[in-house]
Structure 1
Amino acid sequence: MTIKERYEAAREAYQGVGVNTDKALEALKKIPVSMHCWQGDDVMGFDGDGTLSGGIQTTGNYPGRARNPGELMRDMDKALSLIPGKHRINLHASYAIFEEGEWADRDQLEPRHFEKWVEFARERGIGIDFNPTLFSHPKAENATLSSEKEEIRSFWIRHVQACIRISEYFAKEQGTPCTMNIWIPDGFKDIPADRTSPRARLKDSLDRILSMDYDKSKVLVAVESKVFGIGMESCTVGSHEFYMNYASKNDILCLLDSGHYHPTEVISDKISSMLLFFDKVALHVTRPVRWDSDHVVLFDDETREIGKEIIRGGADRVLLALDFFDASINRLCAWIVGMRNMQKALLNALLLPGETLAELQKERNFTEQMMLQEELKLYPFGDVWNYFCEINGVPPKEDWFKEIRSYEKEVLLNRR
């Protein structure tokens, strides 16, 4: 049977439970996932000396890491060509592109330092999201926006404000809002004597940042919490409770990262609550293994649950991005597997008879609800996914890996 014939059979099967697969595929095509640039070069960026700090680590030394903007863009291009649909790219400020002999510190970054990224995105018809980079910098060794030293705090305040201006530039150039997410590595290795003062300083810094004039319809500012990190195991200044309250009070976004909570917590359970109180919520989907280790996103239980909550809550209300970095495997393969798995999770949710299942729950008919949920797991989901790939001009199944194997041999292994 051809992929189309298998799809026709799958469509008939899903019709039996009241699901229109054609509508599901059309809806999936309209949901962009923001692909993070830092998977391609192990979070090195272009503005520093190639060392990481702030509790960030990459492990492995698989050959072929992108070493400059041209290589990174070429790799991103290849990855995007093997992912169905139209997506976005997610940049950190450390990926500024300078002219030869030029350099600007992070508080002096300007839109012109990102013109080549705008050209890249415009030519491909994709949007850009952005992140200030408050790590891997001499002035981030102890603390950033919560620093006891005013000169350090002021530097990072200027940096984030510069990033807001750059985000506004992206939005104006592309005609689509730019999500700009703030994460800081501030915290304490051992039990602090005073948690309040650092958080008061962080609040003051954010207040000063947001006092600037910018178009809030074009720049969607988000704040991202973390439960702990390397070197800040006992306390993070930017905790979930701090940022959720700050975002609510100041009408900005609260970003949930699926690796930034206690191992027994899952963000799939948080999305519905957040959407009751916020117009939108931002997500970074990753895969923690015992801690916030940023493994490649799999088509696992939690990713599927996240997909369900996005669809149930309204995909237009969830700003979806990925965030992982694995240097132990082919970096393009990591991108492609993660992005395609996130899309599979969304498609899985779109192929569920949501109203029927919700009605069974409302009736407290948990027996039939459980039975139907389990039987649906063996429905021909894969045939629908493969058809989605085919109609979007992307290799289905594992066929795309042949191109990555060739690209590795011809391009990546020649990088020394």
Structure 2
Amino acid sequence: MCGKAISGFVLGAVVLLGAAMPVRADDDAALRDRAQAIHDRVIAIDTHVDIPTSFASPAYDPGKDNAPPVLVDIPKMEKGGLDGVFFIVYVPQTKRDPAGESAAISKAFAKFAAIHRMTDDQDTDRIGLATSAADVRRLNDEGRKIALIGIENGFVVDHHPELLDVYYELGARYFGLVHNGHNDLADSAQPKESLGDKPNDEGGEHHGLSPMGEAVVRRCNDLGIMVDVSHAAKSTTLAAIALSRAPVIASHSSVYALRAHPRNMDDETMKALAAKGGVIQIVAFDDYLHEVPKAKHKARGEAAKRLGLTSLEAFFNASDETKAEFQKISDGLDAKYPRATVSDLVDHIDYAVKLVGIDHVGIASDFQGGGGIQGWRDAGETFNVTLELVRHGYSEAEIAKLWGGNILRVMDEVETARKQTSMQAE
């Protein structure tokens, strides 16, 4: 999740609900038909979608087409041709004391349970849990949608790295080292002054990874969990890439050269990631694709605070009246200050592809965590991304890599690194 504070996920929890993406003047029926045929054939995987703990509960049945704030459910995936999703076990960074750590671990288990409710107890003929690239391919061949699991924020293991083994058994296949705010593993790209974090221009807290963070990277390699450096400080990212035996991913980041935001990756970092075989998943998050006026942030933040929408859980649990009021405010602000578009998203993809090659770039939404742009406002509009890639001149083979081929290749390589470790241990 890219935002998570009032200026992030709550501000993006409801996206513009106006008319669908218009047909452009330079589009003809043949182009759209070609794009649709490509979209139907590729495996489209979104590597970052947030959930509340109430997901897959009676309040939000993923098998039904839910109203916002649910932006990803099985009907929307089916409508938009989104084949697979990494659903995220996210916890916010709070005070690093026993109470904070216990709460983080408890929230993590609750979110694992929510994902398993969806794949084990409901609609098993429509969606299944994948724990390997082979599972992804098998479920796709069976005509089922695919759920995968990623972890966001190493706070969920801080002083208990043995929990990584438990999370792996529960299905976690990538591990985000850090979120907004330093933790005991690593420095964040966005230190939290409220938690007393040392600024990164002063070296941060660990100058990258702590010794415990280094141990966690090695254990991820041993288990077959992809290391995720989205939200990490540059020093953390470069250290993790250098240390890891397997390719590293950035599950939801964009290009610093096009939008100078600390959450985005600069050229040096993207080149290092690619040199190790990794992938940057370009994220459809408004503020990381273009600059959002401070007035918009302020107005939406004030509205969210006034309505009590200070967390994803609060937003999902709000009354229909509260959601409608915030939606109206959000729509008005989006009309005044338009969101980024799918064209902006593909501009970032273009830049990354030209810099590091087609094999090292992918796509993420960060839906329900602040993501959502004009043209890709929920899973039901996923085809529009493929259409824009075709407009930009990408071939079917290239689109297949961007949508899922590259992340599946990394999953295979990370699994190979695990097997090599097991053989050496024997």
TM-score by length of 1: 0.45
Q: Could you say which structure has the greater relative contact order, defined with CA pairs below 8 angstroms and 6 or more residues apart?
A: 2
TM-score by length of 2: 0.44
Whose radius of gyration is greater, 1 or 2?
Answer: 1
